[in-house]
Chains A and B, each alone.
Chain A
């Protein structure tokens, strides 16, 4: 069984009385240890799709099965526990907690899980900060570091609980090109090092080069699927 399974998933937003069909009958299966990108113009449904995979939202129709769990049956607390153990998040706006230092931001999800001893915890945080190149900034607060650095910290935070999947919704949208490339390549390194599946979305076709698998979304429908091997040959 694959890591992520979407079966005939439809998502309809009905908030303002006008119903918007953000995803239309999507069937998809994604494997472990992959580095996947969803690309598409603004409004094509990328965020909606990632929110479903991340159990932040529920499909209107169809099934979303992530790591063997049907996310539709989870209540709020169960969904939170599921995200804490299985999924890491990287956000477009970095979303670090401003009152915590770099080190404490990475530590935060671990404190939520609570079952790791102090020494192991410290070891793991330092290793990750080392790997994303932020070890020398560990005592700074988020407002003292740059956007690219924040996103590196966010990647470390997403990985610290050893999730199966890291979801990154437009992680580079607020970064300049060079920094964006750097962030994507760090994510790729992490994927190779830890075997975590990375799924990221972007509206910028230029930065997807590294992705092994690229899905293109348009108006809630996957219009094409492209893999690296095919592109290179």
Chain B
């Protein structure tokens, strides 16, 4: 075997330029997969992280039919106190759940007495909200940063675009006006206590007020929960927990419905496009490897016909000739992948050192690409298998050569 490898490697270096060219091509493909894959995975995890950790939560529970008409922010599709208690006890019984936060979602008018605009509001209990969407506070700039909570009763956190649009400044007194589900209009004064930067998707441009303020604005006697955001201990458990919750809340007689962030955020489709692109890049790599190895091995066999005739004549078994060429193609793939892997990981390392910041829509994203070891191993295995596969036909052709014919071929 070592002898086969020795012969294979020497044969590869016999045509240095050609080998170098082909292996650069394969290495380039590997670099592409590693770097692009690293960037894509990093982009995705960052974005998903921002969306789930600063706005949506991992899962949400609503009254049945709410998500269908979510754009209207219907106030009549809410969970009563008793119904919410059922949801709570279910969530508390599940060890995978880290936290949950009840919300009232409403549309309102916001006025600084000179100008008026529309605003979407999430009314929350700050301590529960903070435990559920842990990075929300990072998006918020308060006038007095040393508070325990990002929100007190009587305060509003205004989205940055409205802050500019209404020319508000911190500490301004404004009024919120809303219609409740029975059609009666009410207004409450609140104080601008902070600005929140926007993110992609639903809730991305919501303002925040305290739960109790929403109750009085909408003249609720009892809390009426519109939305329950849920955070899991392990994000990877999402599928399983979702399944379990669907069992409980998905039955026809249940009043609740459960959705994952993917069903609620338009980013889920961007994420699947990114996944698709990564697959496409992998296919490109496979084609590159297939075509280059097939090409170089076919040329190798063709150029060395009389050499194959010689080794066959002096007694080399056909199977050994077959493996000689398989080893040659495989070594080619191996050397190229090793090179590509080193370069690819090097580029990723450089990117981590230099850090790429860019804006995706309204969001600041800082890419620190990383490739999971499993991805790297998968790439290597793919290239190895494809190299071997691409060598089969030329190698078989070599093994099939009749020594008399091959020797006569000059």
Taking Cβ atoms with an 8 Å cutoff, the residues of A that contact B are 51, 54, 56-57, 76-77, 80-85, 87-89, 91, 93, 95, 97-100, 108-109, 111-113, 157-158, 161
Of the residues A51, A84, A91, A97, contact of B315 by C-beta under 8 Å = A84
Considering the chains assembled together, what is the distance between the CA atoms of A77 and B316 in angstroms? 9
Cβ–Cβ < 8 Å partners of B7 in chain A: 97, 99-100
What are 18 A-B contacts defined by CB distance under 8 Å?
A54-B313, A56-B313, A77-B317, A77-B319, A80-B317, A80-B318, A84-B314, A88-B314, A89-B310, A93-B410, A95-B307, A95-B407, A97-B307, A97-B311, A99-B10, A108-B314, A112-B320, A113-B315
Considering the chains assembled together, what is the distance between the CA atoms of A17 and B3 in angstroms? 43
Of the residues A51, A77, A87, A97, contact of B404 by C-beta under 8 Å = A51
Q: Are A83 and B311 in contact (CB under 8 A)?
A: no
Q: Are B315 and A80 in contact (CB under 8 A)?
A: yes
Chain B contact surface mostly: helix
Q: Are B404 and A95 in contact (CB under 8 A)?
A: no
Cβ–Cβ < 8 Å partners of A98 in chain B: 14, 307
Considering the chains assembled together, what is the distance between the CA atoms of A51 and B404 in angstroms? 8
Taking Cβ atoms with an 8 Å cutoff, the residues of B that contact A are 3, 7, 10-11, 14, 306-307, 309-320, 403-404, 407, 410
Q: How far is the CB of A142 from chain B (nearest CB, A)?
A: 11
Cβ–Cβ < 8 Å partners of A108 in chain B: 311, 314
Q: Are B313 and A77 in contact (CB under 8 A)?
A: no
Q: How far is the CB of A85 from chain B (nearest CB, A)?
A: 7
Q: Are A56 and B404 in contact (CB under 8 A)?
A: yes
Q: Are B316 and A80 in contact (CB under 8 A)?
A: yes
Cβ–Cβ < 8 Å partners of A113 in chain B: 315
Cβ–Cβ < 8 Å partners of B3 in chain A: 111
Considering the chains assembled together, what is the distance between the CA atoms of A85 and B315 in angstroms? 8
Q: Are B404 and A81 in contact (CB under 8 A)?
A: no
Q: Are B315 and A56 in contact (CB under 8 A)?
A: no
Cβ–Cβ < 8 Å partners of B320 in chain A: 112
Q: How far is the CB of A121 from chain B (nearest CB, A)?
A: 12
Of the residues B10, B312, B314, B410, contact of A100 by C-beta under 8 Å = B10
Considering the chains assembled together, what is the distance between the CA atoms of A88 and B403 in angstroms? 14
Chain B: which residue is nearest A101 at the CB level? B10
Considering the chains assembled together, what is the distance between the CA atoms of A89 and B403 in angstroms? 12
Given contacts A51-B404, A100-B7, contact A83 B307 (CB under 8 A): no
Q: How far is the CB of B397 from chain A (nearest CB, A)?
A: 14
Q: Are B307 and A81 in contact (CB under 8 A)?
A: no
Cβ–Cβ < 8 Å partners of A109 in chain B: 314-315
Cβ–Cβ < 8 Å partners of B306 in chain A: 93, 95
Cβ–Cβ < 8 Å partners of B319 in chain A: 77
Of the residues A81, A95, A99, A111, contact of B310 by C-beta under 8 Å = A95
Q: Which of B306, B310, B315 has the most CB of A within 10 A?
A: B315
Considering the chains assembled together, what is the distance between the CA atoms of A111 and B314 in angstroms? 12
Cβ–Cβ < 8 Å partners of B316 in chain A: 80, 84, 112
Chain B: which residue is nearest A86 at the CB level? B315
Given contacts A77-B319, A97-B307, contact A83 B314 (CB under 8 A): yes
Q: Are B310 and A91 in contact (CB under 8 A)?
A: yes
Chain B: which residue is nearest A94 at the CB level? B310
20 additional A-B pairs beyond A88-B314, A111-B3, beta carbons within 8 Å, are A54-B313, A56-B313, A77-B318, A77-B319, A80-B317, A82-B315, A83-B315, A84-B314, A84-B316, A85-B315, A91-B313, A91-B407, A93-B306, A95-B306, A97-B7, A97-B307, A97-B310, A99-B14, A109-B314, A157-B314
Considering the chains assembled together, what is the distance between the CA atoms of A87 and B314 in angstroms? 8
Q: How far is the CB of A53 from chain B (nearest CB, A)?
A: 12
Cβ–Cβ < 8 Å partners of A89 in chain B: 310, 313-314
Chain B: which residue is nearest A161 at the CB level? B315
Chain A: which residue is nearest B306 at the CB level? A95
Q: Are B315 and A112 in contact (CB under 8 A)?
A: yes
Considering the chains assembled together, what is the distance between the CA atoms of A158 and B314 in angstroms? 8
Q: Are A81 and B315 in contact (CB under 8 A)?
A: yes
Closest CB pairs A-B (n = 3): A84-B315, A99-B10, A95-B310
Considering the chains assembled together, what is the distance between the CA atoms of A157 and B14 in angstroms? 22
Cβ–Cβ < 8 Å partners of A112 in chain B: 314-317, 320
Chain A: which residue is nearest B320 at the CB level? A112
Considering the chains assembled together, what is the distance between the CA atoms of A108 and B315 in angstroms? 10
Considering the chains assembled together, what is the distance between the CA atoms of A140 and B320 in angstroms? 26
Q: How far is the CB of B304 from chain A (nearest CB, A)?
A: 9
Considering the chains assembled together, what is the distance between the CA atoms of A77 and B410 in angstroms? 24
Considering the chains assembled together, what is the distance between the CA atoms of A95 and B407 in angstroms? 9
Considering the chains assembled together, what is the distance between the CA atoms of A220 and B316 in angstroms? 30
Chain B: which residue is nearest A82 at the CB level? B315
Chain B: which residue is nearest A15 at the CB level? B405
Q: How far is the CB of B21 from chain A (nearest CB, A)?
A: 19
Q: How far is the CB of B199 from chain A (nearest CB, A)?
A: 61
Cβ–Cβ < 8 Å partners of B317 in chain A: 77, 80-81, 84, 112
Q: How far is the CB of B323 from chain A (nearest CB, A)?
A: 12
Q: How far is the CB of A225 from chain B (nearest CB, A)?
A: 26
Considering the chains assembled together, what is the distance between the CA atoms of A100 and B311 in angstroms? 12
Cβ–Cβ < 8 Å partners of A51 in chain B: 404
Q: How far is the CB of B98 from chain A (nearest CB, A)?
A: 63
Q: How far is the CB of B354 from chain A (nearest CB, A)?
A: 44
Chain A: which residue is nearest B9 at the CB level? A99
Considering the chains assembled together, what is the distance between the CA atoms of A1 and B318 in angstroms? 31
Considering the chains assembled together, what is the distance between the CA atoms of A26 and B410 in angstroms? 29
Considering the chains assembled together, what is the distance between the CA atoms of A81 and B319 in angstroms? 12
Cβ–Cβ < 8 Å partners of A84 in chain B: 314-317
Considering the chains assembled together, what is the distance between the CA atoms of A98 and B315 in angstroms? 18
Considering the chains assembled together, what is the distance between the CA atoms of A57 and B406 in angstroms? 12
Q: How far is the CB of A16 from chain B (nearest CB, A)?
A: 13
Cβ–Cβ < 8 Å partners of B11 in chain A: 99
Q: Are A56 and B14 in contact (CB under 8 A)?
A: no
Considering the chains assembled together, what is the distance between the CA atoms of A98 and B318 in angstroms? 20
Q: How far is the CB of B331 from chain A (nearest CB, A)?
A: 13
